[in-house]
Amino acid sequence: MATGTLGLDSSLREYLLRVSVDETEAQRQLRAETASLPNAVMQISPEQGQFMRLLVELTGASRAIEVGTFTGYSALSVALALPADGRLVACDISEEYTRIGQKYWQQAGVSERIDLRIGPAIESLDQLLDDGEAANFDFAFIDADKPNYRAYYERCLELLRPGGLLAVDNVLWGGSVANPDDERPETAAIRALNDHIRQDERVSQSLVPIGDGVMLARKH
């Protein structure tokens, strides 16, 4: 589901990858290592990694937040696009998975740019707010446990500067957001956040159907 793009057949996806994705060696190896793990579908697709690199460049971001790092492919993509003195605060609960990423962050020469915080992300984000970091970030990516999406969204929005960009992953949830019979809590939480963003006057938004769907919200 997340390792490709919904609704693209394999030959068209092959073409898209060929003409638009240039992965670094570290990204390629990290993706290969992650593919062998039982939770491999949690990794974003290479076309989405490419897209996020471009988003970071477009926003001129130097300070970024990630909620949900897993094995570190998205963090690596973001960090590659940050300036040398840029910083990504990466939040995750798993030492085991993030350790895989750290190896490749090192290999890519961007580990200095990544400030990994292990623990419940709500606590890490609240800590940033307590440290006076509100409105100090340019870019945020949310890709963690879905029932907490709204809580992550509210905190990230506070941490973003006006004009900052928020990207929320898996907002199409394999297509199940459009299936009224799907009442799983994850699906309900994603639907609720999508609906909330649609009417949230603090942001302008666009849902981009890349990967498993990425909601972009720009803070006014």
Residue placing its CB nearer to Ca ion in the complex, 93 or 134: 93
CB of residue 16 to Ca ion, shortest distance in Å = 19
Shortest distance in whole angstroms from residue 163 CB to Ca ion: 25
Q: Which residue lies nearer to Ca ion by CB, 3 or 205?
A: 3
Binding site for Ca ion (CB under 5 A): 2, 143, 169-170
Query: Using CA atoms, how far apart are residues 82 and 62, in angstroms rounded to an integer?
Result: 6
Encoded tokens for 16: 């898209």
The letter for the amino acid at 6 is L
Nearer to Ca ion, 105 or 141 (CB): 141
Looking at the Cβ atoms of 26 and 172, the one nearer to Ca ion is 172
- What minimum distance in Å lies between the beta carbon of 129 and Ca ion? 24
| Residue 53: CB minimum distance to Ca ion, A | 16
- Contact at 8 Å (CB) between 140 and 90? no
CB of 70 to Ca ion, least distance (A): 8
Q: Do residues 43 and 3 make contact, with C-beta atoms less than 8 angstroms apart?
A: yes
Contacts 24+ apart (CB under 8 A), 26-29: 26/76, 26/104, 26/105, 26/107, 26/108, 27/73, 27/76, 27/77, 27/80, 27/104, 27/108, 29/104, 29/107
Whole-number Å distance between alpha carbons of 139 and 152: 13
Nearer to Ca ion, 24 or 69 (CB): 69
